[in-house]
Every structure is written in C-alpha cells, then in structure tokens.
C-alpha cells in the first residue's frame, strides 16, 4: 500500500519563553492509502494540532509533512490551497456548512471551484446524497436539517470532489449516540467502497472501536501506535 501521509520529526509550539507550550514533539507517522485511522488522546494532547498540520491548515515549528510524496511546507499559499481543494476533504465538529446554500449546493461547492461541469456536478451530488442516506433532502438548507443530517451533508461535501484523504476533527462530538454510530458506519462503508483514507481526531470510543489503527498522543508525543485486525 502506498504511503499517502507522512510526518517527519514534526513539532509545533505555541507561545514563547517561559509560557511556551509544546503541542507536538518529534512526531513521526506514516499512513497508507485506504487506512481508517483514529488519533486519540486527552484534551490538550495535540491530536487536533496534528490533524491541522497534516491538512495544511497550520504550519509546523519544525519538521515536514508529506502528502502523496509532496512536501506541503514547500508550497506557496496558492499552491497549498489548490492542493487541499483537490486532495483533502475536511469534516469539522461544527459542520461548517454555508447556511444560505442548500444541501446540494454545499456538496457541489468544491466541485464548482474545481471547474467540474454542471452535468457532472449534479450527477455526483445525487450520488453522494444517496451514499449518505439523504435522498430527497437536497433542497433543504442547513437550518432545516437535524445535526446528524447536517454532518452527513458535511461528509458528502468532503468526499464529493473525490479526494484521496479525508480529515475529520471530532465529527461525532455534537451527535447523539445512535446518530453518531450511523454516521461512522456510513464513513466506514465509504472507506471500504472507495478506498479513501480517513484520519480522525477523536475522543469517541465508537470511532476507536471501528478504526484499523489507533495513534494515541499524550503531551504531544506518540505513546501508542497500534494496527488492529478485524
């Protein structure tokens, strides 16, 4: 399996001098294509920081991040923005849907930026709505959807442009247990069907129980990196 994510001696600090906090300290990981990986750890352990660095949403103090063999630290701002658009799908705890757009319009937004044709966009949107179980709800705006439905739209949006990496930061944190399990099962099935690489930052044992791999952080250091067999 090819390596799609690699970090080398990754460090991130916040503040200076006596108030400096080390969020990540010499983190080295390799994640292969198609993995369903959970980054775990207590609050303040560095898991969200690690996810943001992998996604190019933050810059390391030291070290490198390679995505599909490309060192994103060497990219200009516009190059990194284009790379994220075409290769990474983001799922956030707070959904981050555009409130004035319908579910369909939220899902197709990235494809619009990519210059995908109208016909191809519309076809892909309907495919994604079906995959996440939201057929018939595409014309609703976020405020007209439940939290679980909004997060399903966010999942569909993240995958609509066919990225090879999906980064999800506490995607079930605002959902009840039943809805959370349903959403995880959707993502797990899409992972199996489409071979997309999923990396989660999470406290949720429902995600951990279904992950192929657990990477446990404490105080910015990897304490456990375990591959699991099902």
The rounded average pLDDT for each run of 10 residues, N- to C-terminus, in the chain (230 residues) is 92 90 94 95 92 93 92 88 89 89 94 91 92 91 93 89 90 86 87 90 92 95 87
Q: Give the pLDDT confidence score for residue 54 in this predicted structure.
A: 95
With 0-12 CB in 10 A as exposed, 13-18 as middle and 19+ as buried, what is 13? Answer: middle
Q: Which residues, in sequence order, are CB contacts of 150 under 8 Å at separation 6+?
A: 95, 97, 142
- Beta-strand relationship, 197-201 and 36-40: parallel
Q: What are the structural domains, with CATH classification, of the chain?
A: 3-95+163-227 (3.40.50.300)
Residue 30 in contact with residue 79, Cβ under 8 Å? no
Phi/psi for 51 (5° steps) reads -65, -40
With 0-12 CB in 10 A as exposed, 13-18 as middle and 19+ as buried, what is 229? Answer: exposed
Q: Give the pLDDT confidence score for residue 230 in this predicted structure.
A: 61
Q: Give the pLDDT confidence score for residue 74 in this predicted structure.
A: 86
Separation between Cα atoms, residue 39 and residue 64, nearest integer Å:
18
Q: Give the pLDDT confidence score for residue 210 in this predicted structure.
A: 92
């Amino acid at each position: 399996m090819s390596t799609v994510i690699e970090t080398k001696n990754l460090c991130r600090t916040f503040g200076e001098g006596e108030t400096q906090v080390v969020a990540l300290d010499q983190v080295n990981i390799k994640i292969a294509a198609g993995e369903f990986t959970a980054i775990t750890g207590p609050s303040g352990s560095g898991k969200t920081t690690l996810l943001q660095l992998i996604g190019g949403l933050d810059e390391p103090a030291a070290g490198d991040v390679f995505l599909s063999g490309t060192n994103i630290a060497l990219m200009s701002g516009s190059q990194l923005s284009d790379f994220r658009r075409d290769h990474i799908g983001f799922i956030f705890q707070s959904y981050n849907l555009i409130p004035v757009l319908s579910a369909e319009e939220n899902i197709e937004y990235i494809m619009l930026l990519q210059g995908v044709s109208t016909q191809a966009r519309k076809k892909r949107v309907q495919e994604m709505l079906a995959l996440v179980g939201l057929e018939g709800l595409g014309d609703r705006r976020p405020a007209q959807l439940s939290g679980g439905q909004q997060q399903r739209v966010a999942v569909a949006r993240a995958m609509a442009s066919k990225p090879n990496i999906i980064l999800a930061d506490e995607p079930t944190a605002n959902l009840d247990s039943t809805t959370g399990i349903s959403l995880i099962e959707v993502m797990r099935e899409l992972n199996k069907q489409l071979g997309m690489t999923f990396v989660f930052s999470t406290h949720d044992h429902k995600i951990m129980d279904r992950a192929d791999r657990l990477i446990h952080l404490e105080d910015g250091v990897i304490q456990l990196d375990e591959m699991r067999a099902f």
